[in-house]
């Protein structure tokens, strides 16, 4: 089996991470912001898997499973909060959820 060079794997992860980063900054809908953050987290997970395969260790995959679990916990709390916000504001625009400033 031909192995891919580690750089290309990390590059892919980096591109994914940047895409997530840009869309978190550009998007105004809270659900899309949450999805973008998930993309960033998964990009980090992918980078861990690539790094693990470079050293032929299971650690990278272990870390990925932890990231997956944490992302699930985070999304469940996040969606509950988003529902709550929708009840209050009737919109998911993040600019509307900005009543505190100073």
Partner 1 sequence: MTIYDMISLAPLWILSSAAILIFFSISIKRNHKVIFVITVLSLMADFAFVSTYSIHHLHSIEPLLVIDGFGVFNIGLILLTTLVVTLISYAYFEQREERKEEYYILMILAALGAIMLVISKHFVSLFLGLEILSVSLYALIAYLRKRERSDEAGIKYLILAAFSSAFLLFGMALVYATTGSMEFAGIAAWITRAHEMPVMVITGFGMMIVGIGFKLGIVPFHMWAPDVYEGSPAPVTAFIATVSKGGMIALLVRFFNTLNGYQYTTFMLVFTILAIASMFIGNILALRQNNVKRLLAYSSIAHLGYVLVAFLAGEKLGMEAVIFYLVAYFITTLGAFGILATLSDKDRDAELLEDYRGLLWKRPLTAIVFSAMLLSLAGIPLTAGFVGKFYVIAAGIHTHRWLLVIILVINSVIGLYYYIKLIAVMFDQKQEPRPSQDLHPLVYIVSSVTMAILVLSLFWIGVNPEGMMTLIRSVL
Interacting residues with partner 1 (CB under 8 A): 6, 10, 13, 17, 20, 24, 30, 33-34, 37-38, 40-41, 43-45, 47-48, 50-52, 54-55, 57, 59-60, 62-63, 66-67, 70-71, 73-74, 77-78, 81-82, 84-85, 88, 97-102
- Among 30, 41, 37, which residue's Cα sits nearest to residue 80? 30
Q: How far is CA 82 from CA 29, 33, 65, 92, 93, in A?
A: 10, 11, 25, 8, 11
In angstroms, give the least distance from the CB of 51 to partner 1: 4
In angstroms, give the least distance from the CB of 2 to partner 1: 20
Tell me the three state secondary structure of residue 90. coil
């Amino acid at each position: 089996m031909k192995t891919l060079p580690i750089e290309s794997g990390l590059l892919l992860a980096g591109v994914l991470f940047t895409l997530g980063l840009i869309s978190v900054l550009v998007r105004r809908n809270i659900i899309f912001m949450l999805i973008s953050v998930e993309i960033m987290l998964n990009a980090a997970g992918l980078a861990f898997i690539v790094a693990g395969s470079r050293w032929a260790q299971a650690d990278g995959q272990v870390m990925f499973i932890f990231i997956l679990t944490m992302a699930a916990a985070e999304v469940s709390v996040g969606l509950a909060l988003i529902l709550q916000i929708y009840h209050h504001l009737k919109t998911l625009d993040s600019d509307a959820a900005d009543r505190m400033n100073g």
